[in-house]
Structure 1
C-alpha cells in the first residue's frame, strides 16, 4: 500500500447511506480553527481545578517544593508523545483520536479495544467531575450565605445544562468554553503575578527546579498528578471533521494545547510553592489535602485580595462545568464515529440536520451519565473522595493505557510502511522515548494506585482492572465479528 492510498479519503459508510436513498447525514462538518479547538481541549483539562486540586496533592504527598519540576517533566513527556501523534496525523483520516491511530497501525482488534478503553476513560472522568461540580456549587452557595442543598441536586442540574448545550452545534460549546477558559486562566495568572511580585515569605524558590528533586521521596507522585491534568488533550483529533484544514489545524492545536497546559501548570504550581514558602509548602499543601484549607483560594485572598478570592471561587465552579461539557462533546463524537463503523448502533451515527451535531449520541451520553451518577448516589458515595476520587482513578489509569498504546502504534506504523519517507527522529526515536516514559508512568500509577483512589487495596484493584477489561472486551468483540472488523477498517487506510 502506498502513502497516497493511505491518505486518500474513502466514501465509506456515508456512501452506503446515500446509495440507500436516505437523507441521513453521517459526517460532521464545521469550520473550527486552532483557537477554538485549543479552547475546548484546555477547558477539558480544567486548569483552575488542577491548580486548586492536583497541585496541592502533588506538593503535599509528593516532593514538597520540588513539585514544579514534576509538572515540568510531565509536560515534556506529553510533548514527546505529541511529536509522534502529530507526525502520524496526515495518515489518519478519521475523527476518532486514539482508536483511529491505533487501528491504522495495528488493525481493528487493537482499534476497538482502544475505543472501548477510551469510552470507559472519558465516562469515568465525566462522572467524577459531575460529583465534583455538585459539591463545588453547594460549597459556593453556602459560602455566600445560601441554603445547604444536597450536592446531587446541583450535579443533576449540571447534567441538564450540559445536555442542552451539547445537543447543539459545536460552535455553541466552543464560545462558552472560550469565555470560561479565558476567565479561569486569567484569574490564576493574577494570583501567580501577585505571588511573584511579593516574593512570598522566603523569596522566589528557584530550588524548585533543581534536578536533585528527582531522587526525593514522592517525586513520582508529582509527575502522576501532573499527568492527570492532561486528560483529554488528544481530543484535538476528535474534532477533525469539524475543523477547517484539519491537516494543519490539528497538529497546531495539539502542540499549542500541550505547551500552554504544561507551562501554565508548571508556573502556577511554582507560584503556590513560592506563596507558601519552600520550607513550608508541604505542610500548607497537606492542610488542603486533609480538607481543612484550600491552598489556592486562601493564597488568592492573601496575595491578591478578597475580590480575587471570591471571583476565583466562582470560576472554580465554571471551570468544572466547562470540563464536563468538554468531555460530553468528546464522548458524543467517539460514539458517533463508532456507530458509523459498526461498533455501536447505527442510529447513534446520524448528525442532526439543523445543528450538524451528533445529537442522538449526545442524548445517550446524557442518559448514561445520569444513570451512572444515580447509581453512585444511591450507593452512598460522597462527591469528592467517592464519586470523583474513584472515577478519576479509573480515568487516570485508562488514559495512561491509551497514550502508551497510541505511542507504540506510531512506532509500529512507520516500521510497517517503509515507503513513507520521514525523519527517523520523529517517526522512531521520539515515539520510543515517549513509550518508555509512559510505560514507567503507568507502572508507577499501578504500584501506587491506593494513593490515587484513596480506597482499600481491594477497591483499588477492581478500579484499576476496569480499563484493562474494557480493552480486552473490545479486542474480543472485534475478533469475534469479521463484519465489524471490515466496517471498522473501511475508512482507516
Structure 2
C-alpha cells in the first residue's frame, strides 16, 4: 500500500458526511456554537503534534495498530491490557451511539418519502444486517466504499463552494473565526470532545505497517496527510454549514432539529434532488461506519480472548467463514440490550443516545491519546539514557511534551463539561468515568494475576 491508499482508508472510517450531518450539529448545540470551526483547527493542530510521537514510536511496536500496544510498549504489559479493555468498552459505547444516529437518519430519509417510522425500527433492522455481515465475515466492497466516499466528499465540497460563492445566509459568512470569544463560549470542552470524536479511527494508519512498501516513510506521511486533510475538510465545511444558515439560525436549528441541518442546507443551496441524495448518502455513510465499528469491536474482543484475558469462546473463528462469529454475536447482544433500554426510556436517539455514548467513547479516546504520548516520552527517554540517540530531540521530546500539555488541557475541559453533556446528571457523568476506570482496572488486574499473558501473543 502507498500513502494515498492509507489516507483513503482513514477518510472512509471517519465518514465525513456522517460527521457533518450528525456530530457537527450536536457539537454546535452542545459545544460552543459558531466557535466550532476554530475548535476543529485546535483539534487538528493537537493531533498533528500527537502524530509526531505516535509515528516515531510505530517502528518499535511489535503489535502495531492499536493504542493499547503503543501504551504497553512504554508503560508496561499491565497498563497495555488495562487500556485494551478500556478501548473495548469505548468502541462498544460508540457502536450503541451510532445505532441511535443511524436510526434517526433512516427515519428522516423515510419521512422524505412519505413513510413514518420510529427511529428504533431502522436501528434494529440495521443491527440485523450488520450482525449477518459480521457473522459471515462479509465486508463492504472497497469499490463500493470508494464510490460512496467520493460521493460524500463531493457533495460536501459542492455545498461549501455554493455557500462561499453565494456569500452565505442573511447574516453573510460566519465570523466565528474572527470573534475571539467564540472559541471559549458555551461549553468548549464539549466542542473539543465532538471534534476529537470526528477524528476517531485515524490511528488506523499504523495498522497497515506490514503492508506498506516503505513503512518508515509511508506511515508518518500518511498520518500527517490524513489528519491534515480530514481536519481541513471539517474546518471549512463546518464554517460553510454555519454560514449557510447564518450564525443565529445555525445555532437555533442545531438545537431544535440537528438532523435537518445538513440536508436543509443542501436543499437550499444545491436543490431538492441533492437534498434527497445527501440523505441517502448520510445513511450509507453511517452504516459503513457502523459496520467498521462492529468489526473493530468484535476483533478487539477476539484478540483479547486469544491472549487469555476473556473467555476462550470469544477467541474462536467460524469453521466455514473464518469470522470471529462468537465475539461478533456477543457484541451485538450487548449493543441490543442498550438500544432496547434506550427505547424503553424514550431517549432521543441523537442528542441523548448518540451524544452520551459517543461522549464516553471520546473520553476514552483522549485518555488513550494521553497514554500513548506518555508512553512515547518514557520509551524514548529510556533509549536516550541508555545512549541511543538516533531520534531527534524535537521529534521524541519536544513535540510529545507539547502534545501532552495540550491533551491534559483538553481532558480537563472535557471533564468540566461532561455533566452538561449527559443532561446535567452528575451520577451519569460519574458512571461514564467509572465505567472506563473499571474496565482499565479489570484488564490491569487480570494481566497482573496472569503473567503468562502477552500483548504480542
Cα pair distance change 1:330/1:244, threshold 3 Å: farther
Q: Deviations over 1:416-457 (max 9, x none)?
A: 222251011111111111111111111111110123223522
TM-superposed CA distance for 1:272, in Å, is: 1.9
Q: 1:417 is paired with a residue of what secondary structure?
A: helix
Question: Once superposed, what is the RMSD of the aligned Cα atoms?
Answer: 2.8
Q: Deviations over 1:286-332 (max 9, x none)?
A: 22222287332222111111111111111111111111112122223
Which of residues 332, 335, 340 is equivalent to 2:301?
335
Cα pair distance change 1:34/1:126, threshold 3 Å: farther
TM-score by length of 2: 0.89
Q: 2:452 is paired with a residue of what secondary structure?
A: helix
Aligned residue pairs, count: 453
Match for residue 449 of structure 1?
418
TM-superposed CA distance for 1:351, in Å, is: 5.5
In 2: Cα distance, 1:62 partner to 1:379 partner? 25
Match for residue 147 of structure 2?
179
Query: After the TM superposition, which residues 138-287 of structure 1 pair with which residues of structure 2 at under 5 Å, given as runs?
Result: 138-146=107-115, 148-167=116-135, 172=140, 174-200=142-168, 201-205=170-174, 208-209=177-178, 213-214=182-183, 216=185, 218-238=187-207, 240=209, 247=216, 249-277=218-246, 281-287=247-253
In 2: Cα distance, 1:344 partner to 1:96 partner? 20
Checking the alignment, whether the CA contact within 8 Å between 1:38 and 1:253 is kept in structure 2 is yes
Bigger mean CA deviation after superposition, 331-340 or 418-427: 331-340
Match for residue 430 of structure 1?
399
Cα pair distance change 1:246/1:293, threshold 3 Å: closer
In 2: Cα distance, 1:447 partner to 1:326 partner? 31
Query: After the TM superposition, which residues 23-172 of structure 1 pair with which residues of structure 2 at under 5 Å, given as runs?
Result: 34-60=3-29, 62-146=31-115, 148-167=116-135, 172=140
TM-score by length of 1: 0.83
In 2: Cα distance, 1:168 partner to 1:245 partner? 33
Which of residues 350, 353, 368 is equivalent to 1:384?
350
Bigger mean CA deviation after superposition, 77-86 or 154-163: 154-163
Cα pair distance change 1:76/1:409, threshold 3 Å: same
Bigger mean CA deviation after superposition, 453-462 or 102-111: 453-462
Cα pair distance change 1:412/1:251, threshold 3 Å: same
In 1: Cα distance, 2:332 partner to 2:8 partner? 22
Checking the alignment, whether the CA contact within 8 Å between 1:238 and 1:333 is kept in structure 2 is no
TM-superposed CA distance for 1:65, in Å, is: 3.7
Q: 1:294 is paired with a residue of what secondary structure?
A: helix
Which of residues 357, 361, 365 is equivalent to 1:399?
365
Cα pair distance change 1:241/1:379, threshold 3 Å: farther
Q: Deviations over 1:198-250 (max 9, x none)?
A: 11245445662566655555445433321221122213334556667655554
TM-superposed CA distance for 1:388, in Å, is: 1.5
Match for residue 4 of structure 1?
none
Checking the alignment, whether the CA contact within 8 Å between 1:108 and 1:478 is kept in structure 2 is yes
In 2: Cα distance, 1:425 partner to 1:170 partner? 44
In 1: Cα distance, 2:297 partner to 2:203 partner? 13
In 1: Cα distance, 2:248 partner to 2:417 partner? 19
Unmatched segments (≥5 aa) in structure 1: 1-31
Match for residue 362 of structure 1?
328
Query: After the TM superposition, which residues 287-302 of structure 1 pair with which residues of structure 2 at under 5 Å, given as runs?
Result: 287-291=253-257, 294-302=260-268
Bigger mean CA deviation after superposition, 379-388 or 176-185: 379-388
In 2: Cα distance, 1:351 partner to 1:246 partner? 29
Unmatched segments (≥5 aa) in structure 2: none
Checking the alignment, whether the CA contact within 8 Å between 1:84 and 1:431 is kept in structure 2 is yes
In 1: Cα distance, 2:211 partner to 2:335 partner? 24
Q: Deviations over 1:36-88 (max 9, x none)?
A: 54344333323223222333344455554433211111111111111111111
Which of residues 431, 440, 443 is equivalent to 2:409?
440
Q: Deviations over 1:74-127 (max 9, x none)?
A: 111111111111111111121441000011111111001110110111111111
In 2: Cα distance, 1:250 partner to 1:348 partner? 31
Match for residue 14 of structure 1?
none
In 2: Cα distance, 1:89 partner to 1:455 partner? 40
Checking the alignment, whether the CA contact within 8 Å between 2:43 and 2:195 is kept in structure 1 is yes
TM-superposed CA distance for 1:336, in Å, is: 3.2
